[in-house]
Structure 1
């Protein structure tokens, strides 16, 4: 089963994404903070990490870099989502290894397309 970690400070956002991703049969876990998410990455080695573009004071680029280090040699697919397209943030996250960026509001068809693109469906 594909293990998925959702990372967002906003519980409602996590709930929306959890419902969307849960439709694909992923084994879901959630975190409201970057530090807790990194602990989960070390302990559970998720296959996919879906995160907001900023978790607390940590940017998406920094978070992706730390996920890569915490994943015990595995390279989970990291999808980053945002409300506004910030080219600096997007560029930084992609350089650090993010697979894709999604814009909110979430579109089920686009999410499914992105999951297929990165080989998870």
Structure 2
């Protein structure tokens, strides 16, 4: 079973994402900010994919991406940025920082499933 770490400071978004991902047969874990997510990735087996929010307290999505890129994690998870930021500059910055794909909030099952297929985990 594929694993997904949903990283978002919104409990509602995490719940919605969990519901969709479990319907797609993913084992789902949650983190409320980038620091918590980084700690989880470094603590054990990293997830297959990370659904990552942009704007969070403690450590933002961009800060998390940079830290993940500098970490010693052997098998880097695919990262799908999930955010309300839709400007071309934001999308380019996310991809340049190491994101594999990008999905806009709010998202539905079909949209998320297609993004997961694009990164090769669905």
TM-score (norm 1): 0.89
* Equivalences, count: 121
Q: Counterpart of 2:7?
A: 7
Give 1 or 2: higher strand fraction.
Answer: 1
Unpaired stretches in structure 1, ≥5 consecutive residues: none
Q: Counterpart of 1:90?
A: 91
Deviating more after overlay: 23-32 vs 85-94 = 85-94
CA RMSD of aligned residues (A): 1.6
TM-score (norm 2): 0.88
Q: Counterpart of 1:100?
A: 101
For residues 1-121 of structure 1, the aligned pairs below 5 Å read 1-43=1-43, 44-56=45-57, 58-70=59-71, 72-121=73-122
State the 1:37 CA deviation: 0.7
Q: 1:45-84, CA deviations, whole angstroms, 9 ceiling, x for partnerless residues?
A: 1110101112216443322121233461212100011123
State the 1:25 CA deviation: 1.4
- Paired residues of 1:6 and 1:28 also in contact (CA < 8 A): yes
